[in-house]
Amino acid sequence: MLRTSPARSIRTTLFTWLLPAAVVVIALAWLIHGQLLAHMSRSFAESRLLEEANFIEHQLRKSWGNDQPLGEAGRSVEEVFHHAFAIGTEGQRHISPEIWQPALAPLLASRVTGTISGKAELIGATSATSFLAYRRSGNIDGSPFTIVVAEDLTVLTQGEKSLHLWTAALSGALLLMLIGMIFLAVHLSLRSVKGIQQSLLALQAGERERLDQDTPVEFAPLTGQINGLLDTLEQRLHHSRNALANLSHSIKTPIAAVRQVLEDDQRPLDKPSRQQLVRKLATIDQQLEAELRRERIAGPRIGHRAHPVKQARELLWMLGRLYPDKRFDLTTDLPPDTVWPVDEHDLNEMLGNLLDNAGKWATTQIILELADTGQRWVVRVKDDGPGVEASQLKQLGTRGVRLDQQTPGHGIGLAIVRDLAGRYQGSLTFGITNSGGLEACLELPATLTTP
């Protein structure tokens, strides 16, 4: 397989392959033209010699019974055409013109029939002459005869060479035109690449916020992914700023209260004061934990994927050890090697929070269902616990809201799952099972795009 250096420019690569290819194609066409021209010329000469041999034989048979000398028959042929020929019978022969004696006399004595190529020095010539001859033998009234027709190939060869040279000049002109068209095609094709390069420079200089999407179809996925990455970075920056603002706002009051208690040296640090400090510090710890867990959320990322069945089994095994008195079951039709384009940590965070919440409230059993409807991925977690009032279902997963304070935890797990579902353009809804327990349904679109 042919390879090129990935660091080489597209323009250089195209010229490296297209220009030699154009030269090779034109050269092959010129060589093939020469072969075809030579073949056609030889075929034309052979057919003409065959026709002339037929004519000579016809004239010979016509004059055979008239006691006409062989020379008279030859001269009647000379009046029709001017090719060299030789006629031989028993005791007679006629060769015309005489200068062809050295070439045609041996052919009359030869036993070869058909087309013959050869060279011979004609009478008065200074060099050997290439010729093409046709020899035929036959009988007339029991008397044998031989006919040889020959043509000088010098003129024909010179004509071939002249035509071939003109073809070479035309091929050179076509090659120059082809090279010019290649340069023009490469320049026009790479104009869009130049536009993308300028857009990147403008993006780097801060003159624009996104790349232009009006690009050829080959580059549309590239520019789309770059714009998606820019959107993701901007969203994360916005989220980080909001998280810091929220964290600062939420812990500012508890810290002020703790500071006020500690700075009041006129008041002893009694038990109620200590409990107040513990509650304030617990609030601060809760807010820090919530924001830190949210910051670990990755969201949709190109090239990241998760294995839902494998991860679900690992989480069920771990939670089964955490809640040994409860049974965790997995129900799914997905193959074990199913892959979802979701960040692995994010999927663990969503599954873990839903299962942990169900484990806290279930009486004996938790059921995890994984499904693929073709358009959406569905995760359902059901428990057989006391459930939630229908009027309170909408409050579940709301940031900062807990419906019960008796079970350990700060109630941020479901809020994190809802935030994650939103980042993946999905949804988290709650319902009541047939046994009265809670059912959490997480749905993610099967075709995820970066925000």
What CATH code is carried by the domain that includes residue 393? 3.30.565.10
With the C-alpha atoms ordered 110, 111, 115, 117, is the resulting torsion angle positive or negative?
negative
Same domain, 276 and 316: no
Q: What is the C-alpha to C-alpha distance for residues 368 and 413, in angstroms, rounded to an integer?
A: 17
Q: How confident is the model at residue 409 (pLDDT cuts 50, 70, 90)?
A: very low
CA distance 72 to 74: 5
Number of domains in the chain: 3
Q: Return d(Cα 185, Cα 124) in angstroms, integer.
A: 60
Given this model, what pLDDT does residue 295 score?
56
Residue ranges of alpha helices (H) inside 205-302 are 220-263, 271-295
- 141 and 27 part of one domain: yes
Domain stop point among 249, 268, 295: 295
What pLDDT score does 442 carry?
Answer: 93
Residue 366: closest CA among 309, 411, 402, 312:
312
Q: Which domain holds residue 283?
A: 220-295
- Co-location of 111 and 32 in the same domain: yes
State mean pLDDT over 386-411: 61
| Mean pLDDT of all residues in 343-356 | 88
Lowest mean pLDDT among 100-104, 171-175, 235-239, 325-329: 235-239
pLDDT tens per residue across span 275-297: 777 777 776 766 666 566 555 55
Q: How confident is the model over 202-256, as pLDDT tens digits?
A: 777 777 778 777 777 777 777 887 887 787 777 776 767 666 666 666 666 677 6
Q: For the chain, give percent helix, strand, coil, nearest 5.
A: 55, 15, 30
Arithmetic mean of pLDDT over the chain: 79
Give the span between the Cα atoms of 237 and 177, in whole angstroms. Answer: 55
Structure tokens at 188: 């026009």
pLDDT at residue 381 tops 90: yes
CA 318 to chain centroid: 44
For residues 309 and 332, is the Cβ–Cβ distance under 8 A?
A: yes
Strands 365-372 and 92-96: unpaired
pLDDT category at 115 given cuts 50, 70, 90 is: confident
C-alpha dihedral sign at 286, 290, 291, 292: positive
Q: 97 and 64, same structural domain?
A: yes
pTM of the complete model: 0.48
How many whole angstroms separate alpha carbon 324 and alpha carbon 1? 59
Question: For position 59, what pLDDT does the model report?
Answer: 78
* 290 within a domain of the structure (yes/no): yes
pLDDT per residue over 23-36, tens digit each? 999 999 888 988 88
Residue bearing the bigger pLDDT, 205 or 334: 334
Among candidate residues 368, 367, 360, the one with its CA nearest the CA of residue 323: 360
Task: Look at the block and give the residue holding tokens 């340069």.
Answer: 183
Residue 68 and residue 142 share a domain: yes
Would you state the structure tokens that stand for residue 409, as one six-digit string?
């935890």
Of 8-12, 43-47, 245-249, 444-448, which gets the smallest average pLDDT? Answer: 245-249
Residues 80 and 30 in one domain: yes
Of 142, 156, 24, residue with least CA distance to 83: 156
| pLDDT > 90? residue 401 | no
What is the Cα–Cα distance from 451 to 443, expressed in whole angstroms? Answer: 17
* Confidence band, pLDDT 50/70/90 cuts, at residue 1: very low
Same domain, 344 and 289: no
Name every residue whose Cβ is closer than 8 Å to that of residue 115 and which is 6 or more positions away in sequence. 46, 49, 132, 133, 134
Tell me: pLDDT of 366 over 90.
Answer: yes
Higher pLDDT among residues 403 and 396, named by residue: 396
